[in-house]
Structure 1
Amino acid sequence: MAALPGFTDNPFRTRSDLVRASAALLKPLEQHKSPQKAFIKLSTGTAAGFDEVSAQLEGFARPLWAIASLLAPASNADSLGLDVDSWVCGLRAGTNPASSEYWGDLGDFDQRMVEMESIAYALLMAPAAFLSGMDAMARENLERWLRRINGRKMPENNWRWFRVLVNLALGSQDEDVVAQDLNMLDSFDLGEGWSSDGLWGNERKQADYYSGSFAIQFARMLYVRCMEDRGLASEDQSRVERYKLEARQFASGFWRYFDVDGSAIPFGRSLTYRFAFAAFWSAVAIAGVQLDAPLNNIGVVKGLLLRHLRWWSKQPGIFNTDGTINIGYTYPNMFLSENYNSPQSVYWCLKSFTVLCLPDSHSFWTAKELPHPLAARLSPAQPLLDEVKLLWPPRHILCSGRSHHFLLSSGQGTTKAHRAREAKYGKMAYSSFFGFSVPSGTLLEQMAPDSTLTVSLDDGDAWIVRANPFNVRDRQISILTSEAAAGMGTVARTVPALVSTWRPKKAIEFEVQTTLIPALELWSGWHFRIHKVRWSPAAIVPGPIRLVDAGFAASGATRTGLLCPERDLERLLDQDAAAVEAWGKDEQRCLILSDGSASGVVNLQRDLMFAPRSGGGRLATESQALLLRADANTNLIMQRTLIPAVQSTLVAEAESKSAAEMWLATGVFAVSKTSCIDVTECQKLWLKRPKIQVTAKPGEEDEIRVMLY
C-alpha cells in the first residue's frame, strides 16, 4: 500500500482541494484504458459475478461522477488537466454496435443499467462537453443504447432510479415507464425521510448507506436539481417538494452516523464504496435544499462532507501500488466484498465528488466550515456526556459519546444472497472506531462474531450467527438510583431500547429475545444486552447448547508489530495506558487494551436482581468469559483482532416436560482511541457497572430496569 499524493496529503478545505483530489484519483486510471477508451480494467485479477464487458464498462462509467462534475461549472477543460476527448471517444466507441469495444446490447436485469446512471449524469450536468465531439450518427447510437433501458425488466429496488435519470437525460421521456418507476420507488418509503432498498418485507429489511447515500436519497436530490433546472411542470411540483421535505427529515438523523473526526459507522452492504457514505451531503448541496437545525447552516453540511474525506485521506491502505483504489475498507479485503464488486466497482465513491459541479462562487464553498453539531458537547474539555437517539425507520439507536461513537441495531436483514449479510445487517452493535468483522469460514474464530450472538445447538460442532430478528419493537427502560429502587425517590430517567426475537433454526423451538439498552453518562462506554432464552423440550438435542455473546473486536497487535500478550486482569488495570497493550480475563470478565483503546465484556447474569424461570422447566447454566482470536483480515478496520466474549452453556434437565426459560445479561464496554480518555479514567469507567432488575409479568412485557448504585 502506498500514499497517493493529492489525496492522502490533502487538507480538504476548499474546492481547489477537491479538484486536486479528484485529479489524483483519476490519473492512475489512464494507464488502464483500452485502445478506443471505452473500457478500463484495473491490473488486479479478481472478477465480479456479471460479465467482464460490464465490469470494464464500470471502469469507464463510474469516474464520470467526478469528471462531469468538474466540467459542469468550467468553461475550459484544459485548465483542469482533463482529456475530455478521451472520455468522448470512449462514449462513442462503447455505444457503437460496429465497434470492437461496443458495450453490448442490454438484457433484462443487466449490470449495464447501473452504469447508465453515471452516463446520464454526465449528459445532464455537462452536455456540451460530451456531445460536442459527436457527429449525428454517434449521438443516435448513444441515444439508442440508453433508450433500451425502457424495454427491459429491472429489479424492484434502487435500480429504478437509474431508468428515471436516463429518461431525464434523453429529454423525451417514456412517461408511463417513468411514472411507474417513481411510484414504485415512493412505495419504499419508511417514514422520517428514510427509504428501504426495495419494498420492506420478509425478503429484505434494508435501510443503510446504500439506500441512504449511495442510491435512493442521493438520486432524489439529483432529480430535484434536474427538474428545477428544466422548469417544473405542475404535475412534478408536488413530488419535488415532497423529496425536499423528506431530505430534511432524513438529514435530521443521518448526520448522527458521522463521528466528530469524520469517520462514519460502517453498516450494511457495499462498504467498499467507502467515502460514498457522504454522497448525500454533496447531493443536498447540489439540490440547494435548506435543511433543519442543527444543519440549517450550509457550513455544517460542508463540514460533514469534508471531515469525512479527511478521515479517508488518512487511510493509505485503500490504494494499490499503482494508485488505483482496491476492494476493501481501510485495507484490501475480499472477505467483505459482494459478488457484484469488480475491481472497478469501487469508483462509486466518486459520487461524493459531485459537489464539484458547484462553482467556486457558490455559498457551499464560500461558507465557513462549521464543526460537527456535537463537537462542543463531546470535547475532551467537557464532562463525559452521552447522547442517545432512536431512529425507528432503520431500527437503530445512535449513541454519541466522547468515549465511543456507535449504534445499536435490531430488525434489519435480508434473504438476498449478499456475502456476509448476517454480519452486515444482523449484529447488535456497529462502531465508527472498531468497525465490525465479516466471516472467513465456519469455525467460531473464522466467523469473527464481534458484537453479536452466536449459538451452537450441538455443543460447539456448528455455530449459527444472529440474523433476521423478528417481533422488533422499541421500548423505554428505566434507569433508577438506589433510592428510587427502594421507593424513596423517583426515576432518574429513561432510555430507548430495542427488543427483538431470534431463532437459530426455524424448525427448532429454541429462541432468544434480546433487549439492547444504551447507557448514558452514568456508565459512559457501556451498553447492556438482556437475553431471555426459551427452550422447548421438543428442541432438546444431545449435548448442551452454547451461546457466545461478544463485544467489539479490538486490535490484536501492538504498536511495535507484536501480538498483544495476555496479562493478569488485575495487573492490567493497574498499569499505565501508554505502556499497556495486552489483554486479560477472569471467570466473568474479559478486557483488551490496545492501540489506545479498550474493549471488554462482563457477565452480568450473577448481578441480575431477579431472574425468573417460567412453566416449571429447569435450565442449568454456566457462563464464563472468553477471548476469541479472530482470523486475520476479518475486521474492516483492523487486520488482526481479538474479541472479548461471554460464553454460556445451557442444559435442560432430561425429566423436564415443560418449557425452560433462562435470563442472561452482558455488559459491553468500549472506549475508542479518539476519546482521549486516559487509563485512570478508563479504569474507573470499566469498574463502574450497574445491576439489572428483571420482573417477569406473564402475558405482559417483562419489566427491565437498570439500577445505579
Structure 2
Amino acid sequence: MTSSFLELPPEDRGASPYTGYTRAHWEAAADGLLDAAWKWSTPGRAMLDLPGRPSGSGVRSDGLEGYARTFLTAAFRVAGAEGKDPHNWLERYADGLRSGTRTAGSDDAESWPLIRDHTVFGQPMVESASVAIGLRLTRPWLWDRLDSGTQDRAEEWLRDALRHTPAPNNWYLFPFSVAGFLESVGRGDAETARARQRALDLLEGWYRGDGWYADGDGRAFDHYNGWALHLYPVLDAHLSGDTELAAHYGARLREHLESFGLMFGADGAPMHFGRSLTYRFAAGAAVGMGAVSGHTPLSPGTSRRLISGSLRYFLDRGAT
C-alpha cells in the first residue's frame, strides 16, 4: 500500500481490524518520513534544509529544526526496536552532531546557531530539547560511541538552553529536557537541577485539574497538553526510573486520557482545538506515552486503535 511517497505493508485486518495498521506500518511510516527529509541534508549532515519559504527564524534555524525534529522520529524508531537500525539513521545524526557543534555559531553551511533568549533568537532552544531527548533515547547506540570532544561540544551547545530565557509557556520544558539528558549521562550539576525544578514548579501553577494544563498563564488549552506538558515530564520520569515523579505526573496523564481519549473521531481525526492545529499530527503522543508508561485508563487495544487511526487519518488524506 502506498501513501504518497510512503511504502507501507499490506493491511492486516486480522491483527488490526479497524485500521489494518500494525507495528510494521508505524516503522515503515517513520522510515518513509525520514527518507524523504534526508534528501534535503547538507553535506555534513548537520542541517536538513527542507524546501519552502523560510520561517521568521531564518534558514539556519530552519535547517537545525529539520535535523532535530526528524531526530525525534529516528530516536523513537530505533529505541522502540531495541537498537535495531536497518537504515543506519543514527549514523547520520551522529555525523550531523559532530558537524553542527564543531564551530557552533559560525556562519557556514553546517554550524548550528547558538541558543539565545526567546525574544532574541530563541527557536534553537526548542530544537535543543529534541536533540537532547533523541540522544537520551539512543544513548547506547549513539552518545556512548561518540568521541569525548564531540560529547563536550554537544554539552556546551545544549547548556545555552539552561542559561537563556524561554517563552512563558511549555518552552520551560525544553531546558528541563536538556537538563534531564545531561544528568542521565553524568553531566548534571546545580545548573541542571535548577532548570528542572523551575519547570516542575511552573507546571504546578499551570495545572487546572482533571488532567489538563494551561499552556502558560491564563486559559491557553491546546494540543500542547498531550504533546508537551504531559509527554516531557512523564517520559523523563519513565527514562530515569524516578518512581515519585512517575506517580505524580503519571496520575495526571491517566486522568487526562479519560477525557482526551474521547477527542478522536471514528475516522481517526483528532479534534480541532486551540492554537496548535499543526500538532494534531502529534495528538497520539499522549496516548502512546500512557501505554508505554502504564499510566493510562485505556486498554492496549483502545490505545492502538486511537493512535493507528490517527496516523492513518493523516496519511490517507495527503498529509505528506
TM norm structure 2: 0.87
Q: Select the structure with the greater relative contact order (CA < 8 A; seq sep ≥ 6).
A: 2
Query: Structure 1 residues 7 and 23, CA, compared in 2 at 3 Å: closer, same or farther?
Result: same
Are residues 1:128 and 2:140 paired?
Answer: yes
Point out where structure 1 has 5 or more consecutive residues left out of the alignment. 320-709
**Structure 1 Cα separation of the partners of residues 172 and 222 of structure 2:** 17
- Which structure carries more helix by proportion? 2
Match of 1:24?
Answer: 32
Asked whether the 8 Å contact 2:223–2:283 carries over to 1, the reply is: yes
**Structure 2 Cα separation of the partners of residues 177 and 27 of structure 1:** 35
Query: Structure 1 residues 82 and 271, CA, compared in 2 at 3 Å: closer, same or farther?
Result: farther
**Structure 2 Cα separation of the partners of residues 249 and 16 of structure 1:** 30
Given residue 209 of structure 1, which amino acid in structure 2 is its aligned partner?
H
**Structure 2 Cα separation of the partners of residues 159 and 280 of structure 1:** 18
* Secondary structure of the structure 2 residue equivalent to 1:275: helix
Query: Structure 1 residues 308 and 75, CA, compared in 2 at 3 Å: closer, same or farther?
Result: closer
Given residue 15 of structure 1, which amino acid in structure 2 is its aligned partner?
R
Are residues 1:72 and 2:79 paired?
Answer: yes
Match of 1:63?
Answer: 70
- Out of 217, 237, 243, the position equivalent to 1:199 is 217
Match of 2:42?
Answer: 34
Match of 2:15?
Answer: none
After superposition, where does 1:6-405 map in structure 2 within 5 Å? Answer: 6=7, 13-44=21-52, 46-74=53-81, 77-78=84-85, 80-97=86-103, 100=108, 101-109=110-118, 110-171=122-183, 172-173=188-189, 174-200=192-218, 205-210=219-224, 212-228=225-241, 231-232=242-243, 237=244, 239-289=245-295, 291-292=296-297, 295=298, 297-316=299-318, 318-319=319-320
**Structure 2 Cα separation of the partners of residues 262 and 176 of structure 1:** 40
**Structure 2 Cα separation of the partners of residues 151 and 32 of structure 1:** 31
Asked whether the 8 Å contact 1:62–1:118 carries over to 2, the reply is: yes
Asked whether the 8 Å contact 2:116–2:125 carries over to 1, the reply is: no
Asked whether the 8 Å contact 1:122–1:130 carries over to 2, the reply is: no
**Structure 2 Cα separation of the partners of residues 15 and 9 of structure 1:** 12
Query: Structure 1 residues 132 and 180, CA, compared in 2 at 3 Å: closer, same or farther?
Result: closer
Asked whether the 8 Å contact 1:12–1:310 carries over to 2, the reply is: no
Point out where structure 2 has 5 or more consecutive residues left out of the alignment. 12-18
| Identity over aligned pairs, percent | 27
Match of 1:694?
Answer: none
Query: Structure 1 residues 176 and 97, CA, compared in 2 at 3 Å: closer, same or farther?
Result: same
**Structure 2 Cα separation of the partners of residues 168 and 40 of structure 1:** 26
Deviations 1:537-583 (A, max 9, x none): xxxxxxxxxxxxxxxxxxxxxxxxxxxxxxxxxxxxxxxxxxxxxxx
Given residue 221 of structure 2, which amino acid in structure 1 is its aligned partner?
A
* Secondary structure of the structure 2 residue equivalent to 1:151: coil
Asked whether the 8 Å contact 2:215–2:221 carries over to 1, the reply is: yes
Match of 1:401?
Answer: none
Q: 1:170, CA displacement in angstroms?
A: 0.3
* Secondary structure of the structure 1 residue equivalent to 2:273: coil
Query: Structure 1 residues 8 and 20, CA, compared in 2 at 3 Å: closer, same or farther?
Result: closer
Deviations 1:141-194 (A, max 9, x none): 001111111111112210111111111100114222321221012210111010
Asked whether the 8 Å contact 2:254–2:290 carries over to 1, the reply is: no
Given residue 223 of structure 1, which amino acid in structure 2 is its aligned partner?
D
Asked whether the 8 Å contact 1:71–1:77 carries over to 2, the reply is: yes
Given residue 149 of structure 1, which amino acid in structure 2 is its aligned partner?
A
**CA RMSD, Structure 1 to Structure 2 (Å):** 2.1
Asked whether the 8 Å contact 1:157–1:185 carries over to 2, the reply is: no
Given residue 27 of structure 1, which amino acid in structure 2 is its aligned partner?
D
Query: Structure 1 residues 83 and 244, CA, compared in 2 at 3 Å: closer, same or farther?
Result: closer
Query: Structure 1 residues 76 and 208, CA, compared in 2 at 3 Å: closer, same or farther?
Result: closer
Q: 1:7, CA displacement in angstroms?
A: 5.1
* Secondary structure of the structure 2 residue equivalent to 1:257: coil
Deviations 1:612-632 (A, max 9, x none): xxxxxxxxxxxxxxxxxxxxx
Aligned residues: 299
**Structure 2 Cα separation of the partners of residues 74 and 267 of structure 1:** 33
Query: Structure 1 residues 226 and 71, CA, compared in 2 at 3 Å: closer, same or farther?
Result: same
Q: 1:62, CA displacement in angstroms?
A: 0.4
Given residue 301 of structure 1, which amino acid in structure 2 is its aligned partner?
S
**Structure 2 Cα separation of the partners of residues 185 and 56 of structure 1:** 30
TM norm structure 1: 0.40
Query: Structure 1 residues 265 and 77, CA, compared in 2 at 3 Å: closer, same or farther?
Result: same
Given residue 226 of structure 2, which amino acid in structure 1 is its aligned partner?
S
**Structure 2 Cα separation of the partners of residues 59 and 12 of structure 1:** 30
Deviations 1:347-371 (A, max 9, x none): xxxxxxxxxxxxxxxxxxxxxxxxx
Asked whether the 8 Å contact 1:85–1:133 carries over to 2, the reply is: no
Query: Structure 1 residues 12 and 153, CA, compared in 2 at 3 Å: closer, same or farther?
Result: farther
- Which structure carries more strand by proportion? 1
* Secondary structure of the structure 2 residue equivalent to 1:63: helix
Asked whether the 8 Å contact 2:6–2:33 carries over to 1, the reply is: no
Asked whether the 8 Å contact 2:64–2:127 carries over to 1, the reply is: yes
**Structure 2 Cα separation of the partners of residues 51 and 29 of structure 1:** 18
Q: 1:97, CA displacement in angstroms?
A: 1.7
* Secondary structure of the structure 2 residue equivalent to 1:62: helix
